[in-house]
Amino acid sequence: MIGEEKLWYDKYTLRVPMIPTFISMEQAKKIWITGKSINFLRVVCKDRTMLQINKTPASSESLFQQQRSTEFQDMIISIYNETTHYLRSILDDKYQMMDHFKAIKRYLLLGQGDFIKYLMDLMENELNKAANQVFYHNLQSLMDAAIRVTNAQYENEDIIKRLDLRLMYVSPSELGWDVCCLDYKFDGPLRTIFTEENSLRYMRIFNHLWRVKRMEYTTCGVWKQLMKSSRQFASIPEISDMTHVCFTMSNEMTKFVQSVNYYIMFEVLECSWSDLLNKLMEAKDLEQILEAHDDSLLKILTRLHLDGHETSQELAKQLRCIFDLILNFGSIIQRLIQSVENELIARKPYQQQQYYGTYTKNVEPVRR
């Protein structure tokens, strides 16, 4: 039994050796797609509207006289155009196909910047926990809060209901950052376009974008910490060379992450989205819509080095190593700042004695 989401792909196939010689391949494909479209409308869309074809049926003789008459060709094109146009109108008007494509870009491809930034702010403490200590209901409540206070609150209610979270496979070494993933639920005819395979592709893309955003979030946080503690660093001249190196490294890491983020958001996602949008607007039938969508996803995966090729795997491995170094650097900076604060507290009694020009033997040395 073929499920509705697989009906378009698996129910009917074009058997090329059995195509009559008096029917061209182009004609056969149009007949095939027309039949699939009618079946899709009836079975998946539950639409049994009888289309009014404004074309006189071709005579049987026209099948064998196509070099002298275009009657048969015109009939095929007319029925194809009427059927596919009606199916496209159902997908656009009743099922809001283009709205869902745009929602995917805003949320799964991180285009809604204010929502993503606020979501990270709210989830930071939860996502810093070990993955097995992160719970769906806690993250869901935080995501709902992010929706209420950002521009996401103005979204169509149907889109907000479809936006969800997914916690992926948990290994002992993973954090919440590694397993949390935004998800978008589809039903009805939309599942034919946004298949389970495509959902997994979107998940891979989201995980990569989320990791880059986390690096951007981390480097900005490290820079803010360093700037906030700069006066404390200046109070300990002995570490001036080390803190200078820390500032330099933080600046270089920030520039690197910004460059990666720019490449992803503009040279990959925006270009791919623009191409996809143009192809979707020009698509005449569902087959062309599906091909445009699949091609766009594969191009994004390739340009993000997530296509599984050997070169891509090596580049992805190097990028992960750099990201791990950034996270380790952030942890080191936190320990450095804490150590500086402890050192200043330890020096304070002696600095006070120097200020007042006194020294008492009763003052016990501070244990460090």
Query: What does the pLDDT read at residue 62?
Result: 58
Same domain for 256 and 346?
Answer: yes
- Looking at 46, 77, 94, the residue that finishes a domain is 94
Residue 202 in any domain: the answer is no
Query: What does the pLDDT read at residue 264?
Result: 96
Question: Could you count the other beta carbons within 10 Å of the beta carbon of residue 335?
Answer: 9
Q: b/e string for 62-96 if b means 16 or more Cβ within 10 A?
A: beeebeeeebbbebbbebbbbbbebbbebbeeebb
In this predicted model, which residue has the larger pLDDT, 344 or 66?
344
Same domain for 161 and 66?
Answer: no
In this predicted model, which residue has the larger pLDDT, 347 or 163?
163
Residue 39 in any domain: the answer is yes
**Tens digit of each residue's pLDDT (9 = 90 or more) over 289-339:** 999 999 999 999 999 999 989 899 999 999 999 999 999 999 999 999 999
Average pLDDT, the chain: 90
Whether 70 shows a pLDDT value over 70: the answer reads yes
Query: What does the pLDDT read at residue 225?
Result: 95
Residue 205 in any domain: the answer is no
Query: What does the pLDDT read at residue 130?
Result: 92
Residue 277 in any domain: the answer is yes
Domain that holds residue 84: 4-94
Same domain for 169 and 44?
Answer: no
Same domain for 359 and 244?
Answer: yes
- Exposed / middle / buried, residue 175 (Cβ in 10 Å: 0-12, 13-18, 19+): middle
Helix (H, G, I), strand (E, B), or coil: what is residue 183?
strand
Query: What does the pLDDT read at residue 23?
Result: 85
Same domain for 223 and 78?
Answer: no
In this predicted model, which residue has the larger pLDDT, 239 or 55?
239
Reported pTM = 0.89
> Which helix (H) or strand (E) covers residue 114, if one does?
helix 113-127
Residue 203 in any domain: the answer is no
Query: What does the pLDDT read at residue 72?
Result: 76
Q: How confident is the model at residue 243 (pLDDT cuts 50, 70, 90)?
A: very high
Same domain for 153 and 17?
Answer: no
Whether 173 shows a pLDDT value over 80: the answer reads yes
Same domain for 179 and 316?
Answer: no
Which has the minimum average pLDDT: 9-23, 181-195, 248-262? 9-23
- Looking at 33, 63, 94, the residue that finishes a domain is 94
- Over range 150-174, report the average pLDDT: 91
Same domain for 44 and 114?
Answer: no
Question: Could you count the other beta carbons within 10 Å of the beta carbon of residue 192?
Answer: 22
**Tens digit of each residue's pLDDT (9 = 90 or more) over 3-30:** 899 999 999 999 999 988 888 899 899 9
- Looking at 94, 127, 153, the residue that finishes a domain is 94
DSSP assignment, residue 132?
A: G
- Over range 121-136, report the average pLDDT: 94
Same domain for 121 and 175?
Answer: yes
Query: What does the pLDDT read at residue 32?
Result: 95
Residue 319 in any domain: the answer is yes
- Over range 90-111, report the average pLDDT: 96
Query: What does the pLDDT read at residue 348?
Result: 81
Same domain for 166 and 115?
Answer: yes
Same domain for 188 and 221?
Answer: no
Residue 166 in any domain: the answer is yes
Residue 293 in any domain: the answer is yes
- Contact predicate 84/34, CB 8 Å: yes
**Tens digit of each residue's pLDDT (9 = 90 or more) over 32-67:** 999 999 999 999 999 988 776 655 565 565 555 565
Same domain for 258 and 129?
Answer: no
User: Structurally, how many domains does the chain consist of?
Assistant: 3
d(CA 79, CA 73): 10
Query: What does the pLDDT read at residue 356?
Result: 60
